[in-house]
Amino acid sequence: MLMTQIITDKKLMRALSKEQIDFFVTGAADGSIPDYQLAALLMAIRLNGMSERELDDLTTAIARSGYMADLSAINGICVDKHSTGGVGDTTTLVLVPLVAACGVPVCKLSGRGLAHTGGTVDKMESIPGMRVEMSPNEMIAQVKRIGCAVVGQSPDMTPADKTLYALRDVTATVDSLPLIASSIMSKKLASGAEGIVLDVKTGSGAIVPDLEGSIELAKTMVSIGIRAGRKMIALVTGMSQPLGTHIGNALEVKEAVDILSGRASGDLKTVALMLGGYMLMTADAAPDPETAEKILTEALESGRGLRKFKEMIAAQGGDPGICDDTSLLPSAPCIQTFPCRAKGYAGRMDAEQLGLCAMALGAGRRHKEDRIDPAVGFVLHARVGDALQEGDPLFTVHASDTRTLHAAAETLYTLVPILPEHVQQARLIDAIVDINGVRLCDALGFK
């Protein structure tokens, strides 16, 4: 089979056969097809798209290019959750222990952050001693023992995706819907969970910023999973401002602990409880969202969720004492709170730029090999639409030195504007997508 013919077929908008897709995916995994030919095919796919059948074949081929987890030894319906990435999105660290505390096993394979998006693995590694690299057998044994695990993806899983993902980043094909959907869903299929809840972000900090495109991505991924025999649901949630108030790895762990301890609430808690509720439903542990929320709220208020988080941290070699004393987390040497410079209302924020500001402090990475500083970041003391007085705390910067601290502060003053008139905050939940289709949210709730 000739790679040039595969490129030509897609260039001319012809559907690729299963054999053609298997051929180039195998070549991507084992390195037998040159990067320049794969890059040409990726651009042809970006320009001409893929049919439903092609997309299923591509996703399955990528999933089967490496290790496929078998979770059948775990009692119950094992569930997973995936976010398309954002800023201050610490839902995993809240909902995984809560869902597990409700008796539903959670196998969560997570990634590292890149550019403006934060990575759950990086956040976990800010906990002293925390181990996130596990063999599949170790992960399964932990889930059988305590009900949950949050670990990095096995290096043997979806090797074809690693090659294609790296090429997409340098060929301006990151925004291709079939390539996004197949990349995400191949990893979800390979990780073995029977129930999958997707959190598809929309807004300035999302991989797909417009709502129409975000809903289409959610529909595509849900359809792929259903056709592969998985129980699927997707929520389209807002990322026009950071989801949480804490941006930075150790800071986000602290916010998760604060929520699990009952000391904090807000948008992060709301979205985490909603996602966790649908995880319970996919595991047949709750019949509807209202019942699921009650079950999760009881686990939160009784302290069972926090105790499960401690148990998971200890099982993975970390110090569970951080749940009782968050000062045990890494702390930056330079910390300063900056005041509001005028009376008014917090205006719309650019979540992507806020994420890039955290990256400039050292909380993120431009390239996968970059090192991050787990202690740095910032805390936002205002949400869009909040009324503020001159002198009110606006944000607190955690930096490695005074130079980066003041540089970040000047950037944040431009990214957290104070306006004379009230600005309406964007919706937290825009749509729910499942086997029955799409439900859109209006100002008062779901239509």
State pLDDT tens for residues 401-411. Answer: 999 999 999 99
Protein fold of 330-419: Aldehyde Oxidoreductase; domain 3 (3.90.1170)
Active-site residue among 64, 112, 123, 187?
Answer: 187
What is the mean predicted confidence (pLDDT) over 420-435?
Answer: 91
Percent of the chain residues past pLDDT 90, beyond the cut: 83
pLDDT, mean of residues 168-187: 91
Confidence category of residue 301, pLDDT binned at 50, 70, 90: very high
Residue 110: strand pairing partners: 152
* Whether 56 is catalytic: no
Query: Measured between alpha carbons, how far is 358 from 356 in angstroms, rounded to an integer?
Result: 5
On the question of pLDDT at 166 being above 50, the answer is yes
Query: pLDDT category, 206, cuts 50, 70, 90?
Result: confident
DSSP calls for 165-222? HHHHHHTT-TT-HHHHHHHHHHHHHHH--SEEEEEEEESTTSSS-SHHHHHHHHHHHH
Which residue is catalytic, options 81, 82, 230, 398?
82
Whether 347 contacts 222, CB under 8 Å: no
Q: What confidence score (pLDDT) does residue 368 get? A: 64
Instruction: Please indicate whether residue 168 is annotated as part of the active site.
Output: yes
What value does the mean pLDDT of the chain take? 93
293/286 Cα distance (integer angstroms): 9
Domain 79-325+429-440 shares a fold with domain 330-419? no
Q: pLDDT (tens digit, 9 = 90+) per residue, 364-390?
A: 877 666 788 999 999 999 999 999 999
Classified as helix, coil or strand, 82 is strand
Number of H-type helices and E-type strands within the chain? 16, 15
Say what percent of the chain tops pLDDT 70.
Answer: 97
CATH of domain 3-49: 1.20.970.10
**Of residues 46, 112, 162, 168, which has the active-site annotation?**
168
- The answer to whether the CB of 220 falls within 8 A of the CB of 181 is yes
The residue from 110, 154, 183, 204 that is catalytic is 183
150 Cβ neighbours under 8 A, 6+ residues apart:
92, 93, 96, 108, 110, 120, 124, 132, 312, 316
pLDDT computed for residue 398 by the predictor: 98
Distance CA 316, CA 320 (A): 10
Q: Tell me what pLDDT residue 444 has.
A: 42
Architecture of domain 79-325+429-440: 3-Layer(aba) Sandwich (3.40)
Backbone angles phi, psi at 330, to 5 degrees: -55, 140
**pLDDT on residue 116:** 65
The residues spanned by each domain of the chain are 3-49, 79-325+429-440, 330-419
Helix (H) or strand (E) holding 141: helix 136-146
Q: Is the pLDDT of residue 110 over 90?
A: no
Q: Which of 56, 80, 89, 161 is catalytic?
A: 161
